[in-house]
Amino acid sequence: MQSSQPRRTAPDPHPDVQEEQDGCGDVAAATKPKQRRGRGAKISRHKRNGRKKQSKTHDLPLPPSVPSSRASNNDTSDPRVWNLKRAIGRRDNRITTTKTQHDESVAENKQLLKKLKTAKAETKAVKKEAEKQMDVVMKDMEHEVKVINESANKQSERAEKKMKIAAEASGNAKVKAATATKAISEAKEKAKDATRAQASFTKATKDVNKKAGSKASAAATKLKKKDDEVNELKQQLKEALKEKATTERRARDAEEEALKQKASREEVEIALGDMERDLEGMLAMKKAGQIVIRKESAEGTGFKKWSQQMVQLIMEYLVAGGPPTAFSKILVATIRTMQPDAVIDELPGVWFVRRCRTVLLIVCQLLSAYRLAKAEKWGQLNCDATQRHQSSYLNLVVSCVEEYCADLPEEQQQYVSILMSACILPEDESAEAQKEAIVEFLNDKNEWLDEWATKIEKDFPDFKHDIKRDGLTLSKLAEGGLVTQDTCNTASKGSDLIVEEIKASAAAAGINANDVLTFKTYCHHHLRNIWWKWLEASLSKYLRDALEGSLKEIDPSLRVSTNISDIIRAVDKEFSLPANYPKGHGRAFLYWLKRYHPGALLVPTERATGSRHDLNVEGAGAIYYNAHLYIQFLDEQLRTPNANNILQENLFIILSSSEMLSLCRLCSIFHFAFSLPLRWLAGHTHKLAKHGWSVLSMSKALNIFEKAMEKIVNDGGFILSEDWVMHVFDDIADEIPEFKEYLNFIFEVKKSTAVDHQTEVLSGRSLRKELFSPERQENKDTADLVKTMASVGAEAVLKELRDPKKHTWEHLDSQNGPLSWMKVTDEMKKASLGKNAVNDVSERPFGGMTHQLESFTTLSGSNASAVAQARINGDFNRAESELLTKTKTKTKEDEHYKNGIFIDLPRELLQTAIELAMKKTKEVRKKDQEALTKQQEHRAEKMNALKARGIENATQQLIDCLYYYDMYNSARCWRTPEKVDEMLNKLKSNTAKLNEIKEQIRMRELGLGWVEARHAWSKNGRAYTVDELAKHLKEVILPEEVNKDIPSQPPVRTLERKVLPVLGTLSANVAKLDVASGENKQELREAAVRMRDERELKGIGDRYEQMQPSSAPELDEGLLNRRLEICEYRGEQLHWHSGTVLAVLTKPKNHVHFQFDEECLDEGEDPIQKVKLLPTFWNRTKQTKHAKGWRLAKEEIELAPPF
């Protein structure tokens, strides 16, 4: 569309081209004969340039895509088409004139030819010589023609380029090109006709000069002039031929373009109108410096979406910790405050801001993959697992060398840990599933990198990116890579599996197995915390045993414990100055201190929230040093009328105990002498490579610690020797100046203010002095007990250090551990330089994830991890925000700020990364949901398997119960104390007595379901004797048995719900559940009976064998007419055959006459036989040459049916 205001003519973008074209026009004019130019030969400057004279103020030329409002409906209405046709007409006129001149030249040439024929006749004598000379001349001419052709081609190409530039510069340039074309065409025609005569003229000139005299000389002179003109015209001819074709083609294209423009004129006018309005509005706003907040139209679609800048702003807002619900409000407030006239048409909704969490997650993982894929090798892999929102999550942290120090020597290289993800979802919690989840995650991110690279190559083909496809591979850990996790069994096994996967990946990458160096290490924080756990357990047990009498007298409701962790948590609740516990008195205690002890040093209590195993030694110092202040405050509080606070009473009892003060003093010394130095070394190992200190160097520190524990075990007094215990690690401090400086800072430099915030005190020195040279009497009195407990605690720690089921022993020289300093190779020591000795980099992401989940309770674990990942990796850090807000207290090291990778990312990478992330949001959310569903399915399968095993176990237990129930209802059961004594006397060995008394107890416990009949078989490693168990049977079980109802069947206790009291009336649905449970029990009971019978048919188990009396009956008259069973072979198997005792023989001894039942006899066999019954064969499935097994028949032992 044309502007309503006149605009200046746009400057010619190619002035040099115009000059060259003007030059071409002048050359063309110069080639005309002077007599033909006449008076009108002087062409105006405007006509020579191919355009009419224009005024200084005029409209800009219309672009080809914009139709003119002045155009008519005719096809030739377009000015450009009209100008081109006019140029073609002028060109045709010039061609006609050139043809006329050509005809005249041909006539003149004919006359010259006649003269040449005459010259030929006169020079026949020298014909042969002339032919030879002509051959030479022709060769020279061919060379010249070749040169001329090449020059013409070059000039033609240059002319074509000039014409192209001129055509694109403006439509008027085409007119100028047409003028030049016309002049060149004339020259081409002349050159074309003159070329044929050139060779003849040249030959004639030479011949005439030699033979013909003055006539030939005159002709040669004239031909030479013609030759110069022909050469020039020939050169222009070749240029003009191509220019003519190009001009004609452009004319046709212009006509077609005009037709197309006419066909779509209305549609284009509408679109241009909208574009013009938007453009004018945007330009006006841009000139005014306004901000516009609105969605943008997506290319190729009619939908509108938020710009990438808005998505980036939302992501940075989320990383800063802002809630999604406040984004629009903060955005409006910021814009209106900074620029009140900004245009805000619409704002992102809360839903969109929340969905940008997933975009943030994808961008962060993409950037992590991008950084690690570019690294040539990886240094360390850390991972950890946890549970949040009843789902299992796994994180993955990989370190690589910083780009700026990749070329430095290995000991000078610095590794940076990059969090790849804190939300990997393994199928279950096993080590195998975690390893597979890590491998699958890396493969998935390789696919992301490939998609990113493909997208940027498509959208920005000229941009050279540095995205490395398939750059995420575990083989990068094959050259000295470490795998570090905590010390639990699953983590340890997982590390082994990852190491094996690294070796397999290296083999697939073509790395020789001998060149692979990778191994697992353990988190030294976890190792150390486990020692203190056992230290606490041993000291707590020692004091619990020593104070057993006092503890029994204390009301259990006061919850008094000898466990140091419980004491520290109680103190934190009551005296913590932040006053986070509602029932505590931290604020009241602070006010009391300011009033009565303003100059006192108060050592702050240790934060006791969460599970921290080193809390038991770290938090003891505050209790030991502040105890006298705590006691005074509590005494005042408890003397208040109606004082009734369990927490205060608990603490007063504990803090007033010398034994508890001894415990706090000992734990404090362990903290300052051992825990604090080891914690600093472990936490700073990755920064100490310049001193040759590596992850494996921690083994040297553990060797020193082990020897210190040995010394304390032998003499507990060393724990109070300040000159020794506080200098255990001096050898290491001499090697590492930073370590020595830290210890000096803690005890000689670190200051704290007193309660009045005016007096400064060396807190570390004061606490250390009170530990080793106490001034308060109550602290002095703890010395002897501290020495005793030190040996106890050191022994427990030493046992833990060397426990082969744990992992510390692997670092000890004394145990020849695989990671001990004397056993590791120099290559392993070098490989572990500059790497982490702890797993903090994997612990931290879960802390950030937990914070997000606590702040936004409905947030998914994956989206919650996005903010934590962005903060840990520093992807969105801006150096400005840090530098401009830094405080004076920050050190020089803190001032090395730099932008995060996302901020400094090239525009092409940034744009495509955000577009790819927005595209993959649905896919990622769907995949996470599928992974969570798989976890729940696996847990359900596991639960079903447990139920199936439970049912199977319940069936087996019920079979046992059936046997014991039958045994109780048989002659084997001892029902009176007298029977117990009688039967025990009959049993000869102590083992038989012990086994039988246990069976009698099991009849009541398992057969009848009487839980109160249960009795342990041993305690603290000592087995109970026959007398002790018999006493329990006679004095506890049998008296109670008289008052109990005997159940009609054995109980089914497995899979039963715990018996709970009923509040009011039991609801109907619970009653239905109980009925269904009863039906299940009956099915289980019937299945158990069937299984028992099937087993007995197979010879597995025999209920009647278990129901027999413990000892054989006497072979006397009391055995007459009794029903017995005799064990005999029938074929190859033993069977029990029933019958009746007819007589007891005195000779031979132990023989009876026994009448077998008819169904037990073979054909023709005598039913009455003499059978030997030995007491040693009683109730034994056995037959020898001398005797047979025997027992009572089932009708003799069944006093009552089982059920």
Burial of 81 (0-12, 13-18, 19+ CB in 10 A): buried
Residue with tokens 């001096």: 730
598-623 pLDDT tens trace: 888 888 888 877 666 688 899 999 99
**Cβ contacts of 547 within 8 Å, gap of 6 or more:** 562, 657, 659
Neighbours of 618 (CB within 10 A): 22
What is residue 532's predicted lDDT score, i.e. its pLDDT?
92
Q: What is the pLDDT of residue 1203?
A: 30
Q: What is the pLDDT of residue 302?
A: 62
Does residue 1179 contact residue 1104 with C-beta atoms inside 8 Å? no
Q: pLDDT tens digit string along 510-520?
A: 999 999 999 99
Consecutive H or E run containing 424: strand 415-424
Q: Say if CB 467 and CB 453 are below 8 A apart.
A: yes
* Separation CA 624–CA 779 (nearest Å): 8
Give the three-class secondary structure for 983. Answer: helix
Cα 569 to its chain centre, rounded Å, is 34
Return the pLDDT at 29: 36
Report the alpha-carbon distance of residue 875 to residue 852 in Å, rounded.
Answer: 18
Instruction: Tell me the helices (H) and strands (E) count for the chain, helix number first.
Output: 41, 20
* DSSP states along 312-380: HHHHHHHHTT--GGGHHHHHHHHHHHH-TT-EE-----HHHHHHHHHHHHHHHHHHHHHHHHH-S-EEE
Nearest residue to 388 via CA among 841, 839, 868, 926: 868
Exposed, middle or buried by CB within 10 Å (0-12, 13-18, 19+), for 318?
buried
- Name the E strands within 1157-1193: 1168-1172, 1190-1192
Burial of 556 (0-12, 13-18, 19+ CB in 10 A): exposed
Kindly give the parts of the chain with pLDDT less than 50.
Answer: 1-76, 166, 169-170, 173, 176-177, 205, 208, 212, 216, 888-895, 1199-1203
Q: pTM above the 0.75 mark?
A: no
767, 621 contact by CB (below 8 A): yes
Query: Which helix (H) or strand (E) segment is 1022 a member of?
Result: strand 1022-1023
* CB of 633 closer than 8 Å to CB of 589: yes
Over its C-alpha atoms, the chain yields an Rg (Å, rounded) of 53
Distance CA 1046, CA 1200 (A): 12
Span 593-603, pLDDT tens digits: 999 998 888 88
Give the integer Cα–Cα distance in Å for 465 and 454: 10
Confidence (pLDDT) at 28: 35
Nearest Cα to Cα of residue 719 among 785, 632, 807: 785
Q: How far apart are CA 175 and CA 173, in angstroms?
A: 5
Q: Give the separation between CA 441 and CA 927, rounded to whole angstroms.
A: 12
